[in-house]
Amino acid sequence: CSLAYQPPIFLSLEPEVTVPSAHAFIQKCHRTWKRARRTLLQVRACTKAQADRHQSKPPVYFVDQKVWLSSKNIPLCSVCNKLAPKFTGPFTVTKILNPVAVHLKLPPAHRRVHPVFHVSKLKPCHWVCLLQVLQ
């Protein structure tokens, strides 16, 4: 420390100051610190409320549900990525790791792809859509 002494960590353990101007300065510092902390907590609450307003709940998936997987970051055997399908699958959910991460059963063709995906990369498979794709 560059002060040539160890500054006190807990001001409440220090002896009482007898100089009135120093005592007033310490009180002013305490009031300023409390006001700044209260303001920061209010700003944090307002920012969280604003962010939560635009955030939607993640979809709930369950084991053995069929889902489509976004092919955006998945290596596909296609001539042109522009013409590749946006979603591949359907794949089966084998395990729910947490509310936003699921484990999928991938075919052997995707053995180099890690099977855990964020729910934003998945889309539920509806049987009507699946029947249209298969026909």
* 133 or 45, higher pLDDT: 45
Look at phi and psi of residue 112 and say left if phi exceeds 0, alpha if psi is from -120 to 50, else beta. alpha
User: For residues 133 and 124, what is the distance between their CA atoms, to the nearest angstrom?
Assistant: 14
Q: Does the pTM exceed 0.85?
A: no
Give the per-residue pLDDT at 47.
92
Tokens representing 101 are: 């991460």
pLDDT band at 103 (very low <50, low <70, confident <90, very high): very high
